[in-house]
A = this chain, B = another copy of it.
């Protein structure tokens, strides 16, 4: 992974849980770093999310702190106290405004973040050696089974800029705005308002198009930081040279990160891509795709390697979007199994069975009504999901 000039990373052990691993991430940014972000639409969001929203208005960031093991959600004024203590401590250390400090926490809901552990952890982080992106990706994780990162680069005029992303999340994934905790870093110079515009656009067709279990987290946050250290002419709109290339690279990193979250979905054995075409609009296609992707019956059928396309018909029908049973077509991999509302007579099950035995499943659904299309991604629903979630807190 390339380094991002202007972003200095450190990790430490705050010991938010009974474990002996790093669980506090601290990243310092160069003065003038632009920041953009999208956060959960869950009404019962955490104090961290509220503070992020407030601080995003300023558009500038000097530091990011991520706590793993305790989400600090639903902890009322005591949770808020802990987050404000963290921002004060970092602001004093850096000599910056508290509103330039961004904090995220992830883990169990309903237990106030212990302020003393956070303070001691931060102090340790201030004195720690600079670490790698791998260390950051490891430290922000909780039930994740592997560290998740992605990169891309773009030419902005004559300047090559780098983009790095790290993300955590494997359950409680049905982003309605963002997903779990994701962080994107670039050395490009980008105006905050334009960075925000680009992040919102990328978010719509990446993080907002994945689902593991239809449950939307109270802590979902994706933040993008642009340090400007690449010294390109700052990007402020799509009229600027290199803006398209940068937007495309940013989208690429978001898509990679979103896919990694699905691949690490709790209990997931298969990665499922659902392409919906022929809907009345792109948004309608996305809703139909998510109805299929969230159907426990579709997800268990894929887990069982069963071409039970009847359950896909059911999911299309319950999506609440325009559809016509007698125009619907469905395929697995490259094989059509239903055309215009009828099973394909005597179709060869061999390629379908072979496709379903793989780990990358493609489902095609044509609604037959218009030109709206969308692709969404999910994973299968297995015994592993039940085992992980029936025994998480204890």
Contacts and interface: CB of A to CB of B under 8 A. Distances in A.
Interface of A: 41-45, 71, 73-76, 78, 108-111, 171-172, 174, 176, 213-218, 294-297, 300-301, 303-304, 306-311, 313-319, 322-326, 328, 338, 341-343, 381-383, 385-387, 389-394
A316 B43 contact: yes
Contacts of A300: 385-386, 389-390
B386 A386 contact: yes
Contacts of A172: 297, 311, 314
A325 B47 CA distance: 11
Contacts of A309: 110
A393 B308 CA distance: 7
A181 to B, nearest CB: 15
A-B pairs with lowest CB-CB distance, top 6: A109-B310, A44-B317, A304-B390, A300-B389, A42-B317, A216-B318
A384 to B, nearest CB: 9
Contacts of A313: 44, 73-74, 109-110, 218
B308 A216 contact: no
A176 B385 CA distance: 27
Q: Which of A325, A341, A342 has the most CB of B within 10 A?
A: A325
A341 B76 contact: yes
A345 B71 CA distance: 18
Contacts of A342: 74-76, 78
Nearest to A295: B215
Contacts of A307: 393
Contact of A215 (B75, B297, B341): B297
Contacts of A171: 297
Contacts of A382: 386, 390
A76 B326 contact: yes
A330 B326 CA distance: 46
Contact of A318 (B108, B215, B304): B215
Contacts of A174: 318
Contacts of A74: 310, 313, 325, 328, 338, 341-343
A388 B142 CA distance: 30
A215 B308 contact: no
A144 B298 CA distance: 20
Nearest to A216: B318
Given A109-B310, A328-B44, A216 B317 contact: yes
Contact of A216 (B41, B310, B314, B381): B314
15 contacts: A41-B318, A44-B313, A44-B317, A44-B323, A45-B325, A172-B297, A176-B318, A215-B297, A215-B315, A218-B314, A301-B390, A307-B393, A308-B392, A383-B387, A386-B386
Nearest to A110: B310
Contacts of A317: 42-45, 216, 218
A363 to B, nearest CB: 15
B44 A296 contact: no
Contacts of A389: 296-297, 300-301, 304
Given A43-B322, A110-B313, A304-B392, 10 more contacts: A43-B316, A43-B323, A73-B314, A109-B314, A110-B310, A218-B313, A300-B389, A301-B390, A303-B390, A307-B393
